[in-house]
Amino acid sequence: MTTALTPVDEGTWADATWPLGAHIEPSTGTTTFAVASPRATWVTLEFFAAAREVDAELSVPLARGTDGVWRARIAGARHGTLYGFRVWGENWPHEEGWTPGSTVGWLADRDEQLNHFNPNKVLFDPYAREVTHNPMSVGPHRAWFGSGPVDVDGRPGRTIDTARIAPKGVVIEDATPYGRHPRHPEEDNAIYEAHVKNLTMHPSSARLGDLLAGVPGFEGLPNVPDELRGTYAGAARMAPYLTALGVTVIELLPVHETDSDQVGAFAGTTNHWGYQTLAFFAPNRDYAYDKSLGGPTREFKEMVRAFHDAGLEVFLDVVYNHSAEGGNWGGDLDAAGFTTLGGFATTEYYALTAEGGLIDGATGTSNQMNFSSDITCQLVLDSLAHWHGTMGVDGFRFDLAPVLGRRPLDAEAEDWEAQRRFFPEHPLLRDARTWAEENHVEVIAEAWDLWGYEVGNFPSGWGEWNGRFRDAMRGYLKGDGNTDDFMAFFNGDWLHFNDSGGPQKSINFVTAHDGFTMFDLVSYNVKDNGQAYPFGPSDGGSDNNISWDSGGDQALRRTRWRNFWLTTFLARGVPMIVSGDEYGRTQNGNNNPWSLNTVGIWNNWAQAGSNAPTQVPVDPDQPDLPGYHDVVGQTAAAEGVNPLLQFARYVAQLRAAQATFRQRGWGDVTIGGEDVSYVYFGTSLDDPPRPGDRQVAVAIDAGQTPGDDFWILVNMFGESATFDLAEWQENHAVREHDWHRIIDTAPWAEAEGNCWPMEDALHVTGEYTVEPWSIVVLQARPTAPDDEPQSLWGRRGGVQVDRSGRPYVRGFLDRILPRLRRDTASTRVDTGREEVR
């Protein structure tokens, strides 16, 4: 540390109101520090010349304000300054004779309110903009973080000073621009979920541009420099690829500084997904190529700018429901391993049992956060504001979001039924929604946890991952005949989202980072998580996958993959897919690789450039590794062309080009109305869809909107189905539109890409036979100029047509409309389906 650090204006500290964290004030040449610890009796701020192996160079007592915040103003604390805190409380009063590692003043390991104050444990700032390292990186010394009576190297953990190993906060001053927020209308979005490291860590990313050079639409992509693989800078190089694919948002798995410890004794097993947050304001240093102080911040913002410049929004998966701090050690409630939050205010930040034990009931991962606390709620709001306003992020997906809507202090600690209660109008959920609307930010809930299923129950304005859509599509597209579910969720789930702000609040997905990949969904009946490196082993994962291995038929698997991709993008709502699904990525049946940072799990871009993607090597430099299961097989495409990727791009860009699929309302389910309506038929106009039907026609009527009309012909049966198009046209007595087949997911069409531009699309009249397990999309275009333009459904070109609809439509609505009443139940509906063989 080359600059002298000097406390200034000490007399003003107690009455100050400057914000939490460390903030440089250029006008005064000083830096303000503030940390919340309302039950502490003494707090010191310490400065360090290095992250490890040195003692503090300066220790400054802070002043407590009436708001329970401790503050100081320091001259000379410039960018890159390292700092930490020591905290005393009623259980350990501050005495002059105390020195690091001593027990002077110690009375107990917890105060009467159950806070763990221990001045021998140096804590990093909960609001630190960067953190020097994570606690697990200190190797065998990690046990030193344990407090209380727990035995560590032959002495009580409370006596071990951690200054030489503890993570330190970093003062950050950075003006790197992150570009302009694209601010897409929500309904226009298509979300691509990705892991920063997985996206480009595979050696194939260094040949990305070369691999896809001959693939139409993907020409001219950059190769990722080897040294940037697996970093923010590497991810930035993927912006042109994502734009070419047709998505509008990249949603990154957690990037907050995390606890990336080794899990077990298996090579490549770490806390890889990052759902163990240590610092809610700091970017994960491990994902940065530039790991210097300030490097991760700068590199993250440069990545955001690259995405913004390409017209892509950036969403973050954020984990505010629990933290990665060490919990109670060995079952001893006096023992804990706090390095930040819990050492400042255990009872403020964490939900506790009556005896003060940390709980994991709703999260399954311990250290469940306490959202009865104003301090904890403010931490979340301030973190969101930082990542949006300072780092450039456009939206947030909240992991296990119901935890943020619970108030543990409103009930007795051991009244678990009351503890599970979810409050839809919780102040934090309401304030986050209001802040998001004011700042054009999207907030999306994973609306379930181990204590409840709250899809559709979040406040209006919140988006939600729609797990019911996932289950309905998985079931229907494997032949379960859950027809009403398919129709309701393909139409945007009015039942659960009618008071949420529109169908764009339903995030529609069939796969995500949790669970099977999209191709594994059609290739496996059960998970296989215990396999050898590099596809395992890992633990956990659902046993209710609603999957089917397609009888081992590779061509059928590819057909069913196309069905899943198509329905995800053409259903009302916002589609979300997981990285690699677009080219058939497999995890060999592992449905929970949370701990696997391995070459088998990383995105292999050689698959994207192959007509037999699961026949490429996992890693050409390691020929002895277990290979991919050949679930995709040899496709009918030319060598070097992955037909799955081509199909994925066509469908994504079809949605982007057609306003019909991007609506903020549900329509009136009336043929020929003013807006877009999804109306359902059987195989002919007079054939209403019935429960158990596995052949359904979806008429998407654009009404008076700028979009086109479409027919989607769905056959989820093992035999062909003929749909009577002539009867549809005759019954409506119009000929404004010619119908053109633009998509057929059946195996016969794979050599032609399963999709056609309009100029090459087949003009369909009379009837159309849909192959088994296939979906066909017809698009309407005006008839030849010598025909008078008329609407298939209503008034266009001066022709008035009966809009009353067929008699059966009323019967269908009588059955479906009762499902459109607001459902306030909080329990999850079992949507498991019997597998079809």
Burial class (CB in 10 A: 0-12, 13-18, 19+), 34: buried
Partnered with residue 448 across adjacent β-strands are 453
pLDDT (0 to 100) of residue 260: 82
Give pLDDT, residue 816: 52
Question: What is d(CA 441, CA 391) in angstroms, rounded to the nearest whole number?
Answer: 13
> How many Cα atoms are found within 13 Å in the side-chain-facing hemisphere of 345?
19
> What does the alpha-carbon distance between residue 528 and residue 551 come to, in Å, rounded to a whole number?
17
Residue 434's contacts (CB-CB under 8 Å, 6 or more residues apart) are none
| Mean pLDDT lowest among 4-8, 163-167, 448-452, 813-817 | 813-817
Confidence of residue 356 (pLDDT cuts 50, 70, 90): very high
What is the pLDDT at residue 514? Answer: 96
Q: For residue range 501-535, what is the model confidence (pLDDT) as tens digits? A: 999 999 999 999 999 999 999 999 999 999 999 99
* End-to-end Cα distance, the chain: 69
For the cut 60, the answer to whether the pLDDT of residue 811 exceeds it is no
Question: How many Å apart are CA 376 and CA 490, to the nearest integer?
Answer: 38
- Hey, which bits of 276-431 come out as E strands? 277-283, 313-318, 326-329, 332-337, 395-398
**Which of 446, 471, 581, 709 is an active site residue?**
446
Closest by CA position to 280, among listed 405, 152, 387: 387
Give 347-392 as a 3 state SS string. Answer: HHHECECCCCCECCCCCCCCCEECCCCHHHHHHHHHHHHHHHHCCC
Cα 604 from chain centre? 21
* Rounded alpha-carbon distances, angstroms, from residue 463 to 185, 315, 451, 508: 13, 13, 20, 11
Instruction: Report residue 388 as tokens.
Output: 């949006």
Mean pLDDT of 148-153: 91
534 prior amide bond cis, ω within 30: yes
Model pLDDT for residues 721-780, shown as the tens digit of each residue:
999 988 766 654 344 678 999 999 999 999 999 999 999 999 998 899 999 999 999 999
| 190-199, 453-462, 669-678: least confidently modelled range | 669-678
The backbone torsions φ and ψ at residue 628, rounded to the nearest 5 degrees and listed phi first, read: -70, 140
Report the range out of 37-41, 366-370, 622-626, 826-830 with the highest average pLDDT.
37-41
Tell me: pLDDT of 418 over 80.
yes
User: To which residue do tokens 């379960």 refer?
Assistant: 480
Residue 785 has pLDDT above 80, yes or no: no
Q: How many CB atoms lie within 10 A of CB 295?
A: 17
In the chain, what percentage of residues exceed pLDDT 70? 92
pTM of the model: 0.94
What are 628's two structure tokens? 């991919």
Which of 799, 487, 494 has its CA nearest to residue 668?
494
Q: Is the dihedral of CA 431, 434, 439, 441 positive or negative?
A: positive
Number of Cβ within 10 Å of residue 542's Cβ equals 12
Mean pLDDT of 54-73: 98
Q: Where are the domains of the chain?
A: 6-170, 186-332+370-646, 669-804
Q: Residue 814 — very low, low, confident or very high, per pLDDT cuts 50/70/90?
A: low
Buried b (16+ CB within 10 A) or exposed e, 417-439: eebbbbbbebebbbebbeebeee
pLDDT at 159 over 60: yes
pLDDT at 726: 81
CB 278 within 8 A of CB 134: yes
pLDDT at 268: 82
Fold of 669-804: Immunoglobulin-like (2.60.40)
Among the residue ranges 45-54, 393-402, 493-502, 730-739, the one predicted with the least confidence is 730-739
**Dist. CA 794–CA 705, nearest whole Å:** 12
* Architecture in CATH for domain 186-332+370-646: Alpha-Beta Barrel (3.20)
**pLDDT tens digit sequence for 298-322:** 999 999 999 999 999 999 999 999 9
733 with 712: CB under 8 angstroms? Answer: no
- For the cut 80, the answer to whether the pLDDT of residue 258 exceeds it is yes
| Cα Dmax for the chain | 100
Question: Which among 701, 690, 699, 784 has a CA at the least distance from the CA of 737?
Answer: 784
Are 142 and 167 spatial neighbours (Cβ–Cβ below 8 Å)?
no
Cβ count within 10 A of residue 401: 27
Q: Contact at 8 Å (CB) between 819 and 495?
A: yes
For residue 801, is pLDDT > 60?
no
- Tell me the three state secondary structure of residue 160: coil
User: Quick check: is 446 catalytic?
Assistant: yes
Pairing verdict, β 191-194 and 249-252 = parallel
State residue 658's pLDDT score: 97
pLDDT value for 195:
99
Q: How far is CA 105 from CA 84, 98, 126, 498, 745, in A?
A: 21, 7, 26, 60, 74
- In the 8-state DSSP scheme, what is residue 666? -
pLDDT bracket for residue 192 (50, 70, 90): very high
Q: Which two tokens stand for residue 426?
A: 């919780």
CA distances from 171 to 1, 41, 117, 297, 456 (A): 13, 25, 25, 11, 41
Among 740, 733, 737, smallest CA distance to 806 is for: 733
Calculate mean pLDDT across residues 662-675.
85
Q: What is the mean pLDDT of residues 655-676?
A: 89
Cα angle for residues 409, 413, 415 (degrees, 5° grid): 110
DSSP code at position 677: E
Considering only residues 748 and 826, tell me which one the structure prediction assigns the higher pLDDT.
Answer: 748
Mean pLDDT of 397-403: 99
The fraction of the chain above a pLDDT of 90, given in percent, is: 84
186-332+370-646 and 669-804: identical CATH topology: no
756-765: per-residue pLDDT in tens?
A: 999 999 999 8
- Alpha carbon 130 to chain centroid, angstroms: 22
pLDDT tens digits, one per residue of 583-619 = 999 999 999 999 999 999 999 999 999 999 999 999 9
Instruction: Output the DSSP codes for 90-137.
Output: TTB---TT--TT--TT---SS-TT-----TTS-B--TT-SEES--GGG
User: How many CA atoms are closer than 13 Å to the CA of 656, on its beta-carbon side?
Assistant: 17
Residue whose token pair is 């025909």 = 787
Task: Read off the pLDDT band of 81 (50, 70, 90).
Answer: very high
Average pLDDT over residues 787-806: 29
From the list 431, 432, 367, the residue with the least C-alpha distance to 398 is: 432
Q: Determine the Cα–Cα distance for residues 289 and 268; give it in Å rounded to an integer.
A: 20
pLDDT, tens only, 204-257: 999 999 999 999 999 999 999 999 999 999 999 999 999 999 999 999 999 999
Instruction: Give the separation between CA 214 and CA 549, rounded to whole angstroms.
Output: 32
Res 784: pLDDT: 60
CA distance 361 to 33: 35
pLDDT surpasses 80 at 782: no
Q: Which residues contact 373 (CB under 8 A, 6 or more apart)?
A: 347, 348, 349, 409
User: What is the dihedral sign for C-alpha 529, 535, 538, 540?
Assistant: negative
| Alpha-carbon span 712 to 695, nearest angstrom | 11
Q: What is the CA radius of gyration of the chain?
A: 29
Q: What does the chain come to in residues?
A: 837
What pLDDT is attached to residue 795?
23
- At 758, list the tokens: 């309009």
Q: Which listed residue (130, 193, 286, 399) is catalytic?
A: 399
- Compute the mean pLDDT over every residue in the chain, rounded to the nearest whole number: 92
Contact predicate 125/133, CB 8 Å: no
Distance between CA 446 and CA 420 in Å, rounded? Answer: 16
Mean pLDDT of 50-70: 98
Q: What is the pLDDT of residue 640?
A: 95
- Name the amino acid, one letter, at 594: W
Q: What pLDDT, on a 0 to 100 scale, did the predictor assign at position 704? A: 82
| Superfamily grouping for domain 6-170 | Immunoglobulins (2.60.40.10)
Tokens linked to 634: 């040899």
Which of the pair, 365 or 304, is modelled with greater confidence?
304
Six token digits for residue 182? 């694209």
The residue-averaged pLDDT of 789-803 equals 27
User: Which residue has 């010619």 as its token pair?
Assistant: 738
Note the Cα 317 to chain centre separation in Å: 4
- Dihedral of the alpha carbons of 337, 342, 343, 347, in degrees to the nearest 10: -130
